[in-house]
Structure 1
Amino acid sequence: MSQSLHPDVKRFKMFVKKRPYVLRDVNSGEKTLQDIFEEWMLFGEEDDIWESYLKDDEEKDETKKSDEEDEEDSNVDVLNILKNMNLNDIQHHLGQFSTVVQSVQELVSQFKQQQTPDPSQGPPEQQSPFSFTED
């Protein structure tokens, strides 16, 4: 069920392949891939904002050469995840999850209603277990 990616997503993937350093904040957990994508859509590929990522990376490269290799491996992993991601499948699974959550919420509310005594009948100690009355 592989579908063709949107042209913007394809261009973003090529952009990230050319400039893997832009994923630095994604790898560190400061930003999400969605945040980077939105910046890319807003500023475009040629904006100076991407140079700030490069300058920051060059400063870090002086102190962490081995971390760069690990980061590149992580970037490849992120790109592979993007490549294999089917947004329609994700949306479908989220819809199913939402349905399950709604069902659990309904079940919990039913249990709560069963546990709440009816105030018109009084406390449970005064209630007769028999449904008939004296004549």
Structure 2
Amino acid sequence: MKNSSHTSVQQFKTFIHEHPLLIKKVREGELNLQETYEKYVLLGEDDPTWEKYKKNGEVKAEESTSSSQLYQKLWKHIEHLDVNQVENHINDLNGAIGNILTLIDQFKQFRSNQISSSPSDQMFNRPKD
């Protein structure tokens, strides 16, 4: 009797790993693991009740496969990168950013000089507090 119980538990473990959405629902507290196991024993794994958990699991598996393919492609491109070229591009960008900051500072100085030397200030010499 112990072996048959152990076998059904092992089958349930295999079953639940094939249905990742079922695992998610148990972890979120929407389903009880004991009750799910009892349903599994009573209904069997071919019952239509389990389809909604399997379909989403298949979609998630496809998403994970496409995600893993994306990582493989990304890693392939990283392997072929020339570090010296990347460093040169970073230095060029750094220089461009520095030039933009210098231009902004010059524009600010120009604006502040223009505002401080406005004609209304020259007509009325007001002492500054």
Classify the TM-score, shorter chain.
Answer: 0.3 to 0.5
**TM-score relative to the length of structure 1:** 0.41
Q: Which has the higher helix share?
A: 2
